[in-house]
């Protein structure tokens, strides 16, 4: 996701195959917002994970829900409002997004259903 | 040598001992009046706005501003309405069967916060809320709904799960 954010945020002006400036601007604004949330999550998650597994479970579920929500938003809700650049790296990251979601879902199930070690 | 395998009668006895369904156990837990009221209000909120949206979408309600009924906005509202419908279906089922209710509320909260921020970013430069009463009511009441949903999750008693 960081790679995707970086790829989108550092694009030159002329790479968008765009016909609507508003769509591109909206995509950029959303990207910056999501970028900020991802940075906070990546910084805070290890701290939460090593201090409380119970809280880590809820944080993981919340992050998974958010990742799925933005995935659904991008593909089913906002596909007429935002436009992502047709660039190799962005396309690749978008393609492997379901894999990333599967990992998060797996982590959520693991933290929910696996009994704690030594318990 | 004695046959150590358990027979059908013994299997049935074991099954009968654990036969009390989750639903029956869930019904034993008495939820507070606050929880019931909040669940009712949240359901009413979702249903009212879904009905308003479908009426607007089907031209059964007079849209104050025709720009609101543009294809792009309707696509967004349609997606949000569908997701909200399925989320609330999940929340009600989770409450009925006492299974993963807090997790469902957490997912709904995250989705709500995400959509609120996204809507603000997407629509802030495109439309004004002054002349759109349905949208304004929806946007203004959204924080109340978020608070209600949080309260709903916190007031839920789930003694079976112990979460």
What residues contact B79, with CB distance under 8 A and at least 6 apart?
A: A72, A73, A76, A77, A78
Residues of chain A with pLDDT > 90: what percent?
Answer: 15
- A62-76 tens-digit pLDDT: 999 999 988 888 887
- Asked if the structure places residue B48 within a domain, the reply is yes
Tell me what the mean pLDDT of segment A22-31 comes to.
Answer: 77
Contacts of the segment B38-43: beta carbons below 8 A, 24+ positions apart = B38/B148, B38/B151, B38/B152, B38/B155, B39/B92, B39/B95, B39/B152, B41/B148, B42/B88, B42/B91, B42/B145, B42/B148, B42/B149, B42/B152, B43/B88, B43/B92
| Closest CA relative to residue A111, chosen from B105, B153, B163, B157 | B163
- Asked if the structure places residue B69 within a domain, the reply is yes
Whether residue A78 and residue B121 make contact (CB cut-off 8 A), yes or no, is: no
Distance from CA of A78 to the nearest CA of B (A): 6
Is the CB of residue A66 less than 8 Å away from at least one CB of chain B?
A: yes
ipTM score assigned to the predicted complex: 0.71
Cβ–Cβ < 8 Å for B118, B97 = no
User: Across the interface, which of B103, B106, B118 has its CB nearest the CB of A30?
Assistant: B118
Query: What total of structural domains would you count in chain B?
Result: 1
| DSSP string across A45-102 | HHHHHHH-HHHHHHHHHHHHHHHHHHHHIIIIISTTT------HHHHHHHHTHHHHHH
Is the CB of residue A33 less than 8 Å away from at least one CB of chain B?
A: yes
- Asked if the structure places residue B11 within a domain, the reply is no
List the structure tokens of B31. Answer: 């939820």
d(CA A34, CA A41): 10
Reported pTM: 0.73
Cβ–Cβ < 8 Å for B100, B135 = no
Question: A73, A75, A101, A111: which to substitute to probe chain B, counting the most B Cβ within 10 Å?
Answer: A73
Domain that holds residue B63: 26-154
Distance from CA of A2 to the nearest CA of B (A): 18
- B115-147 tens-digit pLDDT: 888 877 777 666 665 656 666 677 778 888 889
């Amino acid at each position: 996701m960081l790679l995707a954010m970086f790829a989108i945020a550092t694009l030159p002006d002329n790479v968008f195959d765009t016909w609507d400036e508003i769509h591109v601007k909206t995509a950029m604004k959303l990207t910056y917002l999501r970028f900020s949330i991802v940075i906070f999550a990546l910084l805070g998650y290890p701290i939460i994970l090593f201090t409380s597994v119970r809280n880590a479970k809820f944080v993981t579920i919340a992050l998974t829900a958010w990742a799925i929500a933005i995935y659904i938003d991008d593909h089913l809700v906002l596909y007429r409002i935002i436009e992502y650049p047709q660039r190799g790296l962005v396309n690749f990251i978008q393609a492997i997004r379901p894999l990333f979601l599967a990992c998060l879902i797996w982590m959520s199930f693991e933290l929910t259903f696996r009994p704690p070690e030594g318990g | 040598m004695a046959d150590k395998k358990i027979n059908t009668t013994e299997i049935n006895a074991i099954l009968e001992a654990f036969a009390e369904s989750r639903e029956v156990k869930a019904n034993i837990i008495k939820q507070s009046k606050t929880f019931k009221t909040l669940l009712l209000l949240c359901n009413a909120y979702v249903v009212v706005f879904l009905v308003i949206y479908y009426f607007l979408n089907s031209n059964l309600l007079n849209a104050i501003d025709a720009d609101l009924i543009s294809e792009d906005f309707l696509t967004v509202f349609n997606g949000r309405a569908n997701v909200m419908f399925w989320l609330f279906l999940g929340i009600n089922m989770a409450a009925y069967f006492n299974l993963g209710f807090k997790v469902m509320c957490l997912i709904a909260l995250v989705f709500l916060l995400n959509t609120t921020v996204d809507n603000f970013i997407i629509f802030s430069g495109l439309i004004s809320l002054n002349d759109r009463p349905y949208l304004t009511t929806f946007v203004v009441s959204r924080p109340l709904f978020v608070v209600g949903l949080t309260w709903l999750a916190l007031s839920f008693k789930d003694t079976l799960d112990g979460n």
